Amino acid sequence: MASKRATATATALRLTPQPSPRAATSYLRTTPPFLSPHRRHISAYGYEQAKALTFSKYGEPADVLSLHTHSISPAHSHNLTLRFLAAPINPADINQIQGVYPSKPAFTTALGTATPIAVAGNEGVAEVISLGSSVKGLAKGDWVMMKAPGFGTWRTHAQTTPEHVTRLEDRRGISAITAATVSVNPCTAYRMLRGFGAMRPGDWFVQNGANGGVGRAAIQLARVWGFRSLNIVRGRAEGTDELARELRDLGADVVVTDAELQAPEFRERVKEWTAGGREPVKLALNCVGGKPATAMAKVLAPGGHFVTYGAMSKQPLTLPASLLIFKDVHFHGFWVSKWAEREPDEKKRTVEHVLELVRKGEFKDVPVEELLWEWETKEEELIGAVKGTLEGFRKGKGVFVFGRT
Ligand SMILES: NC(=O)c1ccc[n+]([C@@H]2O[C@H](COP(=O)([O-])OP(=O)(O)OC[C@H]3O[C@@H](n4cnc5c(N)ncnc54)[C@H](OP(=O)(O)O)[C@@H]3O)[C@@H](O)[C@H]2O)c1
């Protein structure tokens, strides 16, 4: 990708350089504090003090989130007490707080409030710190991940029962951040690449949002399986070439900006990359929508498959009828939560395979901005961190990393 072209793209989109979130927010850390052996004092009666980012009504995170403190009684019978280690801030978490995500959280008064509240966050990893005598198959110190969305993971501690969590069977070589982020994005990329278009080694797929969590996972899995990828990113005022290099290092075959995708000569360029069009582009993965998604659909070979899994631009997907009538392109949607509900064993196998690739050094985490959450961390810092993740062109995914809680 020519840097001049990238700069022109960014200017056309009126993009401004983003300040480094690390510089702007002093509470970000790079040390993994979850390795700290220190724990807070627990009361003589075994009650655990907990804090959670909660909401009682839907709205913008900055308007509706608040930090709620409560206590958790000692685990007995079938109960488990968990201490969270890490929990990402995914776009779906924000949509859920806004009330526009189909999976709704449970609003409850069980955390000691007069008005029902829900705990935000869907994905994460926690350590079992105590358990009742009837709990089987789990032990103190085990790491668990959430089985389904709606658990509420932006919290220091939680009490639950075993059917809501999945034990991480083999923790060797797996960091808390990897465990906290493996269930959603890597599984989504994995199932879309395996489930649509009957992809075989050497086949091409095209995707937008290629630098996002799902996009990076798709690039790396494609490299493992021998698929070739044509990756679309948004051009930025600075750093487009660096981003392209980063994605190529992960295994991307081609990286282009959305402006290059929409240029008239793009189809000719695709032909150059795909041996004059003899190597069909069989699959498209779309998390953006709008005009760039329409342009991406046109890259597909006849009979290709177009899978939509997100709508980051909030623009509708508009499709020329010719793609359906004359090119027989098949359009699908994919939602990892529904798939996991339908196929829990396959979900477990998928997670285990991704973790195996991590151990072999064949799969890297998405770049993250660690947001340190300690007992003393202030409400406004935590909510500010969530608000910060709403901006595009970020250096990494925001992940709460729990320190001394
Ligand atoms: N259906 C499912 O099962 C499923 C599962 C996982 C994720 N998702 C969805 O997939 C999407 C990506 O999730 P993620 O976790 O990979 O996100 P992420 O890591 O936060 O990355 C976001 C991606 O979206 C791009 N983006 C942000 N705002 C945009 C805009 N206005 N127009 C075009 N692109 C924009 C970003 O590009 P820049 O760097 O240029 O900002 C980046 O590539 C979200 O919509 C999420 O809800 C769906």
CA-to-CA dists, residue 381 to 82, 256, 371, angstroms: 23, 36, 9
| Choice from 214, 246, 369, 371 to test ligand 1 binding pocket (greatest atom count within 8 A of CB) | 214
What is the rounded distance in angstroms from the CA atom of residue 256 to the CA atom of residue 208? 10
CB 263 within 8 Å of CB 228: no
CB 272 within 8 Å of CB 301: no
- Radius of gyration (Cα) for the chain, nearest Å? 22
What is the rounded distance in angstroms from the CA atom of residue 292 to the CA atom of residue 72? 49
| Choice from 190, 312, 394 to test ligand 1 binding pocket (greatest atom count within 8 A of CB) | 312
183 in contact with ligand 1, CB cutoff 6 A: no
Ligand 1 atom 25: the closest Cα is on which residue? 209
Single out the residue of 179, 207, 198 nearest to residue 309, CA to CA: 207
What is the per-residue pLDDT for 42?
63
Structure tokens given for 267: 């189809």
Active site residue 45: no
What is the rounded distance in angstroms from the CA atom of residue 227 to the CA atom of residue 205? 7
What is the per-residue pLDDT for 136?
96
What is the rounded distance in angstroms from the CA atom of residue 161 to the CA atom of residue 239? 46
What is the per-residue pLDDT for 20?
34
**Residue 207, phi then psi, degrees to nearest 5:** -145, 150
What is the rounded distance in angstroms from the CA atom of residue 94 to the CA atom of residue 109? 22
Ligand 1 atom 27: the closest Cα is on which residue? 392
Single out the residue of 34, 109, 130, 16 nearest to residue 400, CA to CA: 34
**Residue 366, phi then psi, degrees to nearest 5:** -65, 145
Q: Is the dihedral of CA 84, 30, 187, 308 positive or negative?
A: positive
DSSP result, 143-190: EEEESSTTS--SBSEEEE-GGGEEE-S--TT--HHHHHHSTTHHHHHH
Ligand 1 atom 45: the closest Cα is on which residue? 310
What is the per-residue pLDDT for 33?
45
| Choice from 256, 257, 287, 306 to test ligand 1 binding pocket (greatest atom count within 8 A of CB) | 287
Tokens 């978490």, residue located? 93
Number of neighbours of residue 147 by Cβ within 10 angstroms: 18
209 in contact with ligand 1, CB cutoff 6 A: yes
How do strand 143-146 and strand 254-257 relate by DSSP bridges?
Answer: unpaired
What is the rounded distance in angstroms from the CA atom of residue 135 to the CA atom of residue 116? 28
Helices 185-195, 344-359: crossing angle, 10 deg rounding: 110
What is the per-residue pLDDT for 283?
98
**Residue 49, phi then psi, degrees to nearest 5:** -85, 135
What is the rounded distance in angstroms from the CA atom of residue 94 to the CA atom of residue 334? 19
Single out the residue of 45, 245, 51 nearest to residue 154, CA to CA: 51
Digit-by-digit pLDDT tens for the chain (405 residues) are 433 333 332 222 222 233 333 332 323 333 344 444 445 556 657 799 999 999 999 999 999 999 999 999 999 999 999 999 999 999 999 999 999 999 999 999 999 999 999 999 999 999 999 999 999 999 999 999 999 999 999 999 999 999 999 999 999 999 999 999 999 999 999 999 999 999 999 999 999 999 999 999 999 999 999 999 999 999 999 999 999 999 999 999 999 999 999 999 999 999 999 999 999 999 999 999 999 999 999 999 999 999 999 999 999 999 999 999 999 999 999 999 999 999 999 999 999 999 999 999 999 999 999 999 999 999 999 999 998 887 888 889 999 999 999
What is the per-residue pLDDT for 61?
97
**Distance between Cα 113 and ligand 1 center (Å):** 34
